[in-house]
Chains A and B, each alone.
Chain A
Amino acid sequence: MSEVVAPDSLKLGAPFGSVVALLLMAALVAIVVLGLREHQSLADPRKRWVLHVLRLLTGIAAALLMFQPRWLGQTVEQVQGRVAVLLDTSRSMSVQAGSASRLAQAQSVLGPALDAAGDKPSLFAFGDELTSLSRAALADPQLPLADDTRIEHALRELAQTQNAGLGAIVLVTDGADRSPGLTASTLASLGVRVHTVLVADTAALSDVSIQSLHADPVAFLHQPAQVEVSLRAPAGHTSPILVTLRSGTEVVREVSAELAADGTATLTIPFTPTRIGRAAYTVSIPTDENDAVPANNERAFVVRVVRERLRVLLVCGQPSWDARFLRGFLKGNPSIDLITFFILRTQTDNSMASPEELSLIPFPTQELFEQHLASFDLVIFQNFDFGPYQMAQYLPRIHDYVVNGGSFAMLGGDRSFGAGGYVGTPLADILPVRLLAGEHAMDLAELSPQVVADSTHHPVVELLPHAADNVAAWRDAAPLLGSNRVLGLREGAQALLVHPTLTGDGGDPMPVLAVGAAGRGRSLALTTDTSYRWSITTAGRSGDASVYERFWDRALRWLARDPLLDPAQITTDREQYGPGAKLRVHVWLRDEHYRALGPATFRLTLADAHGRSLQQLAIETDADGKAELSLAAPSEPGAYLLSVQREGQSEALASEWLVVEVGGDELADPRANPPLLRAIARATGGNYYERLSDLPLLDALPRTRTHVLSVTARTPFDSAWFFALAVGLFACEWWLRRRFGLR
């Protein structure tokens, strides 16, 4: 221990705050200056100078009285403090430096150094957070790695929490810091010296890496999106780099990147999502055998794919109230792009006008059903008969459009279903109902369709969450004025609303509203042309017109495959995870008819982007078909697919993508940063060691800390004598001014 006297420091008092002090000072200066100007009127220069001197001395004395300067002195001692070792355990420390990783090298040196120290240093690890580290943990070759490096945060937290007796921090790191705006000079305020030890090969790192990926978190279905990729290669790497974008195992696009002179390249890769929901993509570059960090050659990102606008083609066989209300609903929905065609005039109508006096346009069947059919998400035939418009040739196209993933709805009327001549056509194969031809194809009796008990939870008819309320809402809706007759359901289809009295050929109640799958597409049949009565007529009775709007909103969303209405769903608490992170999974399983699958046992599979199964777990669903579980995220980077299957089956009931990022940006630039470590050491009074082997014994490191023993203050102007002196100077000046003839 050594005791020293620190240099004095001067402190000024500021009466009534700095603003008042400034005003007082300004007034004092003004008084002095005015006095000096007044003295200029004296002819005798000796008298003038005497008064000048007295005025100045009086002003100075007043200022000293007012501000009372104090001289402060400290007596301090330099004491030997404790040493804390701070080891960087971020993922960049896993980079190979010679024969071993940076971290392994640090572990091999620090262990013996700690053992050899007489005064045992405390040991800490840091990445994004500061944690204490035991001696045993230091020897662990599987030490957990952090996905970030925050040197300043770790130093400040350590200095704050270990303040008592801390003499020096030994910072062992590669310096690949990611703190935004870190400047070493700001660390001088830590109050403790930091010895920095570089753990890295200072030679240029042979690493070609994907430095960053930037993609919008949301993309639109069938609309071009893009990801911006930044690459970095060591100096001298001149050959182009092949960048591959994959969705699962499928190669979406390959782009060759030309590097700039500084070894960097930025390129934009376009892609077009083809499925609604969460989509995982990976971007990869080839890995050279000498590549120091293969992990940063592949990175993944997740995009949430939504439908920009639902494109609907509505073809109405004639203007009707049903068409009017449906068109009004569709036009009022800002998320729908609607193309409507009404057949306003048939061949038997006589408009009594020349074509030039009419606003009619030809029905562009070829354009709609040959050129642009695939661009629609949903096609609705509302009481439309194809026969008069030579459309038979296009029916197979509509059939194929649905089988390949499109959606189709047929709404009733005297030109629909069997009455519209669709029996035996390709459209009959995709409709969820079997058609009846002939004169009995329509029933004119009023009806109040009933919700099928087994279908109350189907989203199309689930207007209210509670089954009883839902049934009541449908029961209270205004009755319909007749329906098309159908034979029954097509195989695999589901009746949602049925006729209260009529039955199909199998004896079951005749479907009024039915849905079904056709290939990869969906279809809906509503066998009435008076569904508008669920709007205006129901509202006239109850004041509530929402049955119609809720029904059509849900019907459109179901037809458009809104993921929120999928019968079986997997959701995870996040989209991206670190390696080994806790992954919470929620599963809600219902069959295609929206009946809960439970209680039952299912299999949850975690597979990589190549379809290789990594983990399988048995899950138990409750009576609602719901289950929750947690599992560890994979340790390797990339995109992963979670799926649920029935036991003994491979077909997935539901699936969801997630991404594991190893390091992410942490590994994007793992180059060592000696200048930063040198600057930290210089700013805090510590030493910089460029190699681990340069580190001396920990006991020999400078580790003194300054301890203040006492503080002394001297205030020479806080005395009656000085006050008397000031008053005397003022009186003397005043007396002489009078003597010299001034006022």
Chain B
Amino acid sequence: MAAAIMRARVFTAMFCSAWLFAWFFACLAISVAPARVRAIGERSVVDLRSIDYTGRNPALRPTATKRWAWEVRQRTSVDTKLEPTHVRFSDPTLFETPLVYWSGDQAFAALSEAEVQGLRRFVSFGGFVIIDDASPEDTGFDGSVRRELARAFGSSALTRLSDTHVIYRSFYLVSRPVGRVQGPPYLEAIEQGGRVAVVYSRHDLGGAFERDNLGNYTSSVMPGGERQREMAFRLGVNLVLYALCLDYKDDQVHAPFIMRRWAGRP
């Protein structure tokens, strides 16, 4: 009996060691291997492009979008750029790719008129903006970003997203938004032309995604721990899938499947 228990322990230890070894080299490979060319060239793949603006904390989550892009690529068929780029709303190249990620952890000065105009045009021409408050514990970034959204789209444009919105089932079945913090049980959004064009999360998604160069997460996730981090990744994947597929999962052909799965969940 004891021998059997010993064999089991040895086996478990060997299995765990092998798994950790593989995991370590996988992370290393991701950080050093050249990006595989998919689609017709790297330029046409999905770029989780961060927004630069005056007053942005340059040290904020420097690898969050890279990790996010990697997770989307590993989990879905979407081709993502593993070295996401940066752009300003006033940059003419803003319209090169239709998705931008706007995050911050502190109050910032008002955007220039050119930037507000760029944001407004980007959205009206089909762009999708994901806004992530990296310090939901205070109101610095929140106040500034609401001010700028009101300038661009009007003070009543930002509304709470229904918890049945297709964003919560564009790939994973997500019951509530979470990030580094649990945050409010809803996302906010601006709709234009029948689609959500701006999504605002006060859950610090980037904080949940961020890893250092050795692959360690830089922030602990509260209060749900690693399960909550996984849920944050799932929300991140869903946001990208919604940007790419819109209300695809609202099509009638999907309804029976999704309803069955919703019904089977606790």
Q: Other CB < 8 Å A-B pairs besides A342-B248, A349-B74, A536-B98, 18 of them?
A: A319-B78, A320-B39, A321-B97, A322-B44, A327-B248, A339-B251, A344-B76, A346-B77, A350-B75, A357-B234, A359-B170, A361-B253, A444-B41, A481-B40, A482-B43, A532-B98, A536-B126, A540-B121
User: For residues 5 through 43 of chain B, which have their beta carbon under 8 Å from a beta carbon of chain A?
Assistant: 37-41, 43
Asked if A319 and B126 sit within 8 Å, CB to CB, the answer is: no
Asked if B248 and A340 sit within 8 Å, CB to CB, the answer is: yes
Asked if A321 and B244 sit within 8 Å, CB to CB, the answer is: yes
- Among B121, B245, B249, find the residue whose CB has the most chain A CB atoms closer than 10 A: B245
In the complex, A317→B265 CA distance in Å?
A: 30
- Among A352, A483, A484, find the residue whose CB has the most chain B CB atoms closer than 10 A: A352
In the complex, A543→B193 CA distance in Å?
A: 17
In the complex, A328→B127 CA distance in Å?
A: 12
User: For residues 315 through 356 of chain A, which have their beta carbon under 8 Å from a beta carbon of chain B?
Assistant: 317-325, 327-328, 331-332, 338-340, 342-346, 349-353, 356
A537 at the interface (CB under 8 A from B): yes
A-B pairs under 8 A by CB, number: 159
Residues on A with beta carbons closer than 8 Å to the beta carbon of B193: 332
Residues on A with beta carbons closer than 8 Å to the beta carbon of B173: 356-359
In the complex, A442→B37 CA distance in Å?
A: 11
B245 partner, pick from A327, A338, A351, beta carbons under 8 A = A327
Residues on B with beta carbons closer than 8 Å to the beta carbon of A342: 77, 245, 248
Residues on B with beta carbons closer than 8 Å to the beta carbon of A530: 40, 44
User: For residues 152 through 205 of chain B, which have their beta carbon under 8 Å from a beta carbon of chain A?
Assistant: 169-173, 193-195
A413 at the interface (CB under 8 A from B): yes
Residues on A with beta carbons closer than 8 Å to the beta carbon of B97: 321
Asked if A357 and B172 sit within 8 Å, CB to CB, the answer is: yes
Residues on B with beta carbons closer than 8 Å to the beta carbon of A494: none
Closest 9 CB pairs of A and B: A540-B95, A319-B244, A482-B40, A444-B41, A539-B125, A318-B77, A359-B169, A361-B257, A482-B41
Asked if B75 and A352 sit within 8 Å, CB to CB, the answer is: yes
- Among B248, B254, B264, B265, find the residue whose CB has the most chain A CB atoms closer than 10 A: B248
Q: Please tell me the number of chain A residues within 8 Å of chain B, measured between CB atoms.
A: 56
Asked if A356 and B265 sit within 8 Å, CB to CB, the answer is: yes
| Contact sample, A vs B, 12 pairs, CB 8 Å cutoff | A320-B78, A321-B46, A324-B244, A331-B247, A338-B251, A342-B248, A356-B264, A358-B172, A359-B249, A361-B253, A536-B125, A536-B126
In the complex, A669→B246 CA distance in Å?
A: 61
In the complex, A545→B95 CA distance in Å?
A: 11
A116 at the interface (CB under 8 A from B): no
Q: Nearest chain A CB to B92's CB is how many angstroms away?
A: 7
B258 at the interface (CB under 8 A from A): yes
Q: Nearest chain B CB to A469's CB is how many angstroms away?
A: 22
Instruction: From known contacts A328-B126, A540-B95, infer whether A359 and B230 are also in contact, taking CB-CB under 8 Å.
Output: no
In the complex, A211→B71 CA distance in Å?
A: 73
Asked if B251 and A442 sit within 8 Å, CB to CB, the answer is: no
Asked if A318 and B121 sit within 8 Å, CB to CB, the answer is: no
Asked if A349 and B77 sit within 8 Å, CB to CB, the answer is: yes
B79 at the interface (CB under 8 A from A): yes
A209 at the interface (CB under 8 A from B): no
Q: Nearest residue in B to A355 (C-beta to C-beta)?
A: B261
In the complex, A115→B216 CA distance in Å?
A: 120
A481 partner, pick from B41, B170, B258, B264, beta carbons under 8 A = B41
Residues on A with beta carbons closer than 8 Å to the beta carbon of B261: 356, 358-359
A359 partner, pick from B74, B246, B257, beta carbons under 8 A = B257
Asked if A349 and B40 sit within 8 Å, CB to CB, the answer is: no
A592 at the interface (CB under 8 A from B): no
Asked if A536 and B74 sit within 8 Å, CB to CB, the answer is: no
A535 at the interface (CB under 8 A from B): yes
A541 at the interface (CB under 8 A from B): yes
Residues on A with beta carbons closer than 8 Å to the beta carbon of B126: 325, 328, 532, 535-536, 539, 545
Residues on A with beta carbons closer than 8 Å to the beta carbon of B248: 327, 340, 342
B130 at the interface (CB under 8 A from A): no
Residues on A with beta carbons closer than 8 Å to the beta carbon of B122: 536, 540
Asked if A351 and B75 sit within 8 Å, CB to CB, the answer is: yes
A412 at the interface (CB under 8 A from B): yes
Residues on A with beta carbons closer than 8 Å to the beta carbon of B45: 320
Asked if B44 and A320 sit within 8 Å, CB to CB, the answer is: yes
B119 at the interface (CB under 8 A from A): no
B131 at the interface (CB under 8 A from A): no
A88 at the interface (CB under 8 A from B): no
A201 at the interface (CB under 8 A from B): no
A732 at the interface (CB under 8 A from B): no
A360 at the interface (CB under 8 A from B): yes
A628 at the interface (CB under 8 A from B): no
Asked if B95 and A318 sit within 8 Å, CB to CB, the answer is: no
Would you give the 0/1 interface string for A490-529, flagging 1 where the beta carbon is closer than 8 Å to chain B? 0000000000000000000000000000000000000011
Residues on A with beta carbons closer than 8 Å to the beta carbon of B37: 444
A718 at the interface (CB under 8 A from B): no
B243 at the interface (CB under 8 A from A): yes
User: For residues 405 through 450 of chain A, which have their beta carbon under 8 Å from a beta carbon of chain B?
Assistant: 412-414, 442-444
B64 at the interface (CB under 8 A from A): no
User: For residues 217 through 266 of chain B, which have their beta carbon under 8 Å from a beta carbon of chain A?
Assistant: 230, 233-234, 241, 243-249, 251, 253-254, 257-258, 261, 264-265
Residues on B with beta carbons closer than 8 Å to the beta carbon of A443: 40
Q: Nearest residue in B to A340 (C-beta to C-beta)?
A: B248
